[in-house]
């Protein structure tokens, strides 16, 4: 089926995540290796000092950090891939990707409604965040409600188009689909 419309995430955001996670991974590998060699040099200099009992938790924490950073790189890399759309419409129906990029497909006649709602959050302790002193942040969510089953929440904050473009494409594919826009 040919695509009628498709919306992906902006690449710049996830490219930044991949670069930062890669830098942190490289730095943790370098400093973790240096710290490990320093611990073993202390063990050789002072045998029986009990430093080897400290090295096991250190090694486990080091490997857990590496695994988390590799997961962040893979997750952001999946969102960077060209085939990873968030919303796509065909003649058959609508395909969305919800939490953890899990794909959900609905036929047009299975959809009961679509609900748009922004959510406002506050940074921890009201402190200014790393995003230019912002104390509040906004996330945009689209809830796709089928007649049977649970609704799927789709994060549309960083789409490559405007939310009005999404509404126009959905209305063009199925004009009688109720779209509730709650801008709060």
- Model confidence pLDDT, tens digit, residues 116-162: 988 876 655 545 455 555 566 678 889 999 999 899 999 888 788 88
Q: Which of 114, 102, 101 is nearest to 147 (CA)?
A: 114
pLDDT tens digit string along 69-122? 778 777 767 666 656 788 889 889 999 988 777 889 999 999 999 999 888 766
HEC profile of 51-83: CHHHHHHHHHHHHHHHHHHHHHHHHHHHHHCCC
Name the DSSP letter for residue 159.
B
Contact 54, 119 (CB under 8 A): no
Residues 20, 52: Cα–Cα separation, whole Å: 32
CA dihedral 63, 64, 66, 70 (to 10 degrees): 140
pLDDT for 49 equals 53
Token digits of residue 142: 């689209």
pTM: 0.62
Helix (H) or strand (E) holding 37: helix 11-45
CA distance 71 to 168: 35
């Amino acid at each position: 089926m040919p695509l009628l419309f498709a919306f992906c995430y902006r690449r710049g955001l996830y490219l930044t995540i991949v670069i930062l996670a890669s830098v942190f991974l490289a730095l943790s590998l370098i400093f973790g290796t240096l710290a490990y060699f320093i611990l073993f040099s202390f063990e050789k200099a002072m045998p029986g000092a009990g430093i080897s009992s400290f090295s096991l938790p250190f090694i486990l924490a080091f490997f857990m950090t590496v695994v988390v950073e590799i997961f962040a790189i893979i997750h952001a890399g999946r969102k960077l891939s060209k085939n990873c759309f968030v919303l796509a419409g065909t003649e058959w129906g609508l395909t969305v990707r919800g939490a953890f990029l899990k794909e959900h497909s609905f036929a047009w006649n299975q959809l009961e409604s679509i609900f748009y709602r922004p959510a406002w959050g506050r940074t921890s302790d009201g402190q200014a965040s790393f995003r230019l002193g912002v104390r509040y942040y906004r996330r945009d969510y689209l809830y796709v409600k089928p007649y049977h089953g649970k609704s799927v929440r789709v994060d549309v904050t960083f789409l490559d188009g405007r939310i009005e473009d999404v509404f126009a494409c959905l209305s063009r594919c199925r004009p009688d689909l109720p779209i509730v826009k709650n801008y709060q």
